[in-house]
Amino acid sequence: MDQLAPAKYSPYRVFAAEDWARFRADAPMTLSEDEVARLRSLGDPIDLDEVARIYLAVSRLIYAHVEATQLLFSQRQRFLFGDAPGRKTPFIIGIAGSVAVGKSTTARILKELLARWPTSPKVDLVTTDGFLFPNAVLEAGGLMRRKGFPESYDVGAILRFLSAIKAGRPKVEAPVYSHLVYDVMPGQKVVVDRPDILIFEGLNVLQVREMPKDGKAIPFVSDFFDISIYIDADETDIHRWYIDRFMHLRDTAFRSPESFFHRYSKVSAEEAHAIAEGLWADINAKNLHDNILPTRPRADLILRKGPEHLIEQVALRKL
C-alpha cells in the first residue's frame, strides 16, 4: 500500500500544498527575497512565495513540537529528580532524501526560520557529509563507487556525535566535508555548542540496520531525532535535476583546478552528459532504490515536490 495514499489505513494525513499553506496562520515572514536566494541550492527555484506557502507552516509545526518536547522534558525531570534543576536537551530534526532533491535548501531555510522565532533559539545545522570515510579509506576498501551508500559512513562517529548533543555536552565537534575536493578535510572541525535545535541532514539519516537476534539494544541514527522530514519527488524528476545540476557544475565549479571533478570540465557536452547518466544509473539511482526511498515511511513529515521543484503535497504522520 502506498504510504502517501489518503487511504483509511494510511498513517499519514495528506494535504495539497494549497491546503497546507493555511496552517501558516499568523506566522510572520522573517526572510527577505535576497536571503532566500542566498540560501537556495543550485537549480532550486524556491522563492518567498514557496517559503510562505510551505515552510512557514512547517516552522510553526516544529515550534509546536519543540514546546511539547520541552514540557515533557520538564515533567520527566520532576518525575525523576523532583525539584532538582536539569539542563534541557537539544531538539533534533532529521532531514532525509535523494541527491538533487533539495535537502540542503530545506535545511538552510528551516534553520533561518527557526532561529527567528520570538524566543531566538540557537539553531545549528550539520550534514552527514563530514561523516563519510575519507577517500583514502573508501579507495582502500573498494567503496569509492559506493560513496553515499550506508557503508561509506562512519556510523559510529555519527552516533557518538548525536549522543553527545543529546546529552547536552558543550563544544561537540563534527568533521568538515568539501564538495570541491570531494573529501573530508583533515583536521577541520565544526563545533556545535549546546544548541536549542540541531538540524541533521543527509541521504541515509532514516536508515535502519539489521536487528540483532539476541534482542540487545542497537541504536539507529534516527533514534536521536525528535522529528524527521523526508524530501520526496518522482524519480524521473530527481534524475533530470541531477543531470541538469551536473551539467551546470561542469561549466562552473568543475572548472576549478582544485575540483575533484575538474577532468569533466574538459570533455565535450555529450561526453559529460553520458558521464552524468552513468553516475546516476550506477550509483545514485541504486542508492535511492536500495537505501533512501525505503526509509520514506519512517518520516514524520514528507514534503513531495512536483516537476518544477516546488512542493505539491505534504504528508503528516498521525499522532
Query: Contact at 8 Å (CB) between 85 and 49?
Result: no
Find, among 52, 55, 53, the residue nearest to 63 by Cα.
55
Q: What is the 3-state secondary structure (H, E, C) of 118-144?
A: CCCCCEEEEEHHHHECCHHHHHHCCCH
Sheet holding 301-305: strands in order across?
A: 12-16, 311-317, 301-305, 227-233, 91-97, 197-201, 123-127
pLDDT of residue 1: 38
pLDDT of residue 210: 76
Query: Contact at 8 Å (CB) between 189 and 179?
Result: no
**Secondary-structure class of domain 12-317 per CATH:** alpha beta
What is the rounded CA–CA span in Å between residue 25 and residue 29? 11
pLDDT of residue 6: 55
Tell me how far CA of residue 142 lies from CA of 60, 137, 182, 261, in angstroms.
Answer: 45, 9, 16, 19
Strands 91-97 and 227-233: parallel
What is the rounded CA–CA span in Å between residue 297 and residue 3? 6
pLDDT of residue 307: 97
Query: Contact at 8 Å (CB) between 83 and 71?
Result: no
**Domain ranges for the chain:** 12-317
Please count the CA atoms within 13 angstroms of the CA of 115 that sit on its side-chain side.
14
pTM to 2 decimal places: 0.94
pLDDT of residue 77: 85
Query: Contact at 8 Å (CB) between 276 and 242?
Result: yes
Phi and psi at residue 15, to the nearest 5°: -125, 140
DSSP string, the chain: --TTS--TT-SEEEEEHHHHGGGGTTPPP---HHHHHHHSPTT----HHHIIIIIHHHHHHHHHHHHHHHHHHHHHHHHHHTT---PPPPEEEEEEE-TTSSHHHHHHHHHHHHHTSTT---EEEEEGGGGBPPHHHHHHTT-GGGTTSGGGB-HHHHHHHHHHHHTT-SSEEEEEEETTTTEEEEEEEEEE---SEEEEE-TTTT---PPPTT------GGGG-SEEEEEEE-HHHHHHHHHHHHHHHHTTGGGSTT-TTGGGGGS-HHHHHHHHHHHIIIIIHHHIIIIIGGGGGG-SEEEEE-TTSSEEEEEEE--
What is the rounded CA–CA span in Å between residue 272 and residue 248? 11
Please, what are the averages of pLDDT over each run of 10 residues along the chain (319 residues)?
62 96 95 96 94 98 94 88 80 98 97 95 97 97 96 96 95 97 96 97 91 81 97 98 97 96 96 97 97 97 97 96
